[in-house]
Structure 1
Amino acid sequence: MERRKILIATKTYPSISMKYEEVVCTAGVLLDDNDKPLQWIRIYPIRFRSLEIDKHYPRWSIISAEIEKNPKDNREESFRINDESITILGKIDTSNNWEERKSLVLLDNLEFQSIEDIKKQGKSLGIIKPKSIKKYYYKDDTREWSKKQQAVQNQLNLFKKPVDLEKIPYKFYYNFVSYDDSNHNLSIIDWEIQQLYRNSRNASTKSIQQEREQEALEKVRQKLEDEFMNKKDLYFIVGNQQRYPDSFMIIGIFYPPKLKFEQMNLF
């Protein structure tokens, strides 16, 4: 393995893996020694919640870690990581309308016109700007992990203090049109959005579970629809699945503020 620097752009909500136990998929940008962006990178699997606290890297942090190309994954962005080697070097802030963050991800070799553009270039990960967003919506999902996934979690709890991973009973989506005029309905698996649902539900003072969930769903709608669609300059970090290469998901939302017309025309 080789020690490299990575800008952490997004993390997906943890899932139960038959092979790797509880895992998180992280997407970021591989940096050179001078912190210049080279390419998108997917580091997987990471048992994030089992890491030492000082290795819990936040979004938009720069980490140093030992990585190597994943020989069992033919996607060029996929790397394995020695998660015990992680060192957090710093974090990129949001000053000047996210100027530094933009300079690290909105580049010709990292940004694509559409999902089809990503596929044509033989990539599996990238950032795109939607031409228009038609709507946000959600769907009901299963409330429990599968029997096999629950068995994995039960096995884990035999050897360590139980920290059961909650299954989110809803899936969140954007229906949007990309710049090649293709229509997409992509699920949003950004950890930030899943955690917003959990935090809002847990903070609710409603006495009935269904009412707490509805209150949390409204908080998510306000974030993804009222705030993001109206006040933010939205981009989607999208990635596919190894088993289903044509199936893409929104694994992260990049949401710098919209620049006001007056700001854009000062000069």
Structure 2
Amino acid sequence: MAEPTHLKMLIWGKTYPELSSKHAETVCTGAVDESGRPIRLYPVPLRYLEGDQRYRLYDIVEVRADRNPRDNRPESHRIVPNSLSIVGKVPTDDQEWAGRREWICRDTSWHYDSLADLEAARLHDDTSMGLIRPGVVERVYLKPKKAAARREFEEKWESVTSQQDLFLPEYKALQYLTHEIRIDWRCAASCETCRRRPHDMMVLDWGLLELARRDGDWEKARRKLETISDLATHDFRLFIGNFFLHQQTWGVIGLWYPKRQAQQRLF
């Protein structure tokens, strides 16, 4: 097995925490390294890391990581415990998206104008992440979860918290999310699928779901996504990734949404 590699990367996406029998909970993190190559950090028990290791979006971090031998997806890496440190941050002001672009666009080989192109890359070499430009966003909507999903969550929570873990003196409460936020969109270069019907994807972005959870207002979160996905006012893109157990299924794990400038385009 190869030795862990020292990586410096920019964080661009975090999914909402998911319960894990082995790690208490896990977060899937999207990043790019210094060459602009996409990286997936998984699993990461982010809320259980020390405070100075709990990275935010567009933090620059250094970490030792190795390829996950159980995951065929080339972007997937595991963090060496206690090796992560935050070394900088790209500003979050709307005027500073250019600084983020410097990282995201160093290597545009993982940028696509259609989901069909990303799917073709998956079939060719297991590519599992991409940044896609929608041509049309048709709707943003809420989908209530079924009662069975709540029961499954509660059973897993009971199973996880009943375990004796010497490294976790207490478990952090994780609130069940009652809805999915979903987006219907068509590719900028329309593919065979979206010529018939729009792509319908679940949005897993932690910040958006945390907005709904924190304020108890799912409609507020839906409106937020509806606003930033307005292609007339925002240069909106979707960071998309697939699921390890269902690699033909894609979800939105991050959002790119600088406001459009009168004289300047970031891409």
* Distance of aligned partners of 1:83 and 1:26 in 2 relative to their CA distance in 1, 3 Å threshold: farther
Output the amino acid matched with 1:99.
A
Moved over 3 A (4+): 94-97, 156-159
Alignment of 1:128-139 (within 5 A): 128-139=132-143
Alignment of 1:49-88 (within 5 A): 49-88=47-86
Cα shift readout 1:56-82 (whole Å, capped 9, x = no counterpart): 111101100010111100000011112
Output the amino acid matched with 1:105.
I
Instruction: State the number of aligned residues.
Output: 244
Distance 1:47 1:264 in 2: 39
Distance 2:7 2:218 in 1: 39
User: Which has the larger displacement, 227-236 or 242-251?
Assistant: 227-236
Alignment of 1:108-187 (within 5 A): 108-121=108-121, 122=125, 123-141=127-145, 142-144=149-151, 145-155=153-163, 159-178=168-187, 179-181=189-191, 182=194, 183-187=198-202
* Residue 253 (structure 1) aligns with: 255
Match for 2:235 among 222, 233, 236?
A: 233
* Residue 100 (structure 1) aligns with: 99
2:175 aligned counterpart, secondary structure: coil
Shift of 1:97: 5.1
| Contact 1:94-1:100 at 8 Å conserved across structures | no
Distance 1:149 1:116 in 2: 37
In structure 2, runs of 5+ residues without a counterpart are none
| Contact 1:61-1:91 at 8 Å conserved across structures | yes
Identity, % of aligned pairs?
Answer: 30
| Contact 1:105-1:111 at 8 Å conserved across structures | no
1:4 aligned counterpart, secondary structure: strand
Output the amino acid matched with 1:199.
R
2:139 aligned counterpart, secondary structure: strand
Cα shift readout 1:175-223 (whole Å, capped 9, x = no counterpart): 000123422000000001111101222xxxxxxxxxxxxxx12211220
| Contact 2:75-2:128 at 8 Å conserved across structures | yes
User: Which has the larger displacement, 89-98 or 178-187?
Assistant: 89-98
In structure 1, runs of 5+ residues without a counterpart are 202-215
| Contact 1:97-1:257 at 8 Å conserved across structures | no
Cα shift readout 1:148-173 (whole Å, capped 9, x = no counterpart): 34311342689522421111110000
User: Which has the larger displacement, 160-169 or 226-235?
Assistant: 226-235
Question: Over the residues paired in the alignment, what is the CA RMSD in angstroms?
Answer: 2.0
User: Which has the larger displacement, 14-23 or 145-154?
Assistant: 145-154
State the TM-score, normalizing by the size of structure 1.
0.85
Distance 1:105 1:130 in 2: 17
Distance 2:264 2:160 in 1: 53
Cα shift readout 1:126-154 (whole Å, capped 9, x = no counterpart): 11011110000011114451523431134
Output the amino acid matched with 2:172.
V
Alignment of 1:20-39 (within 5 A): 20-31=23-34, 36-37=35-36, 39=37
Shift of 1:20: 3.1
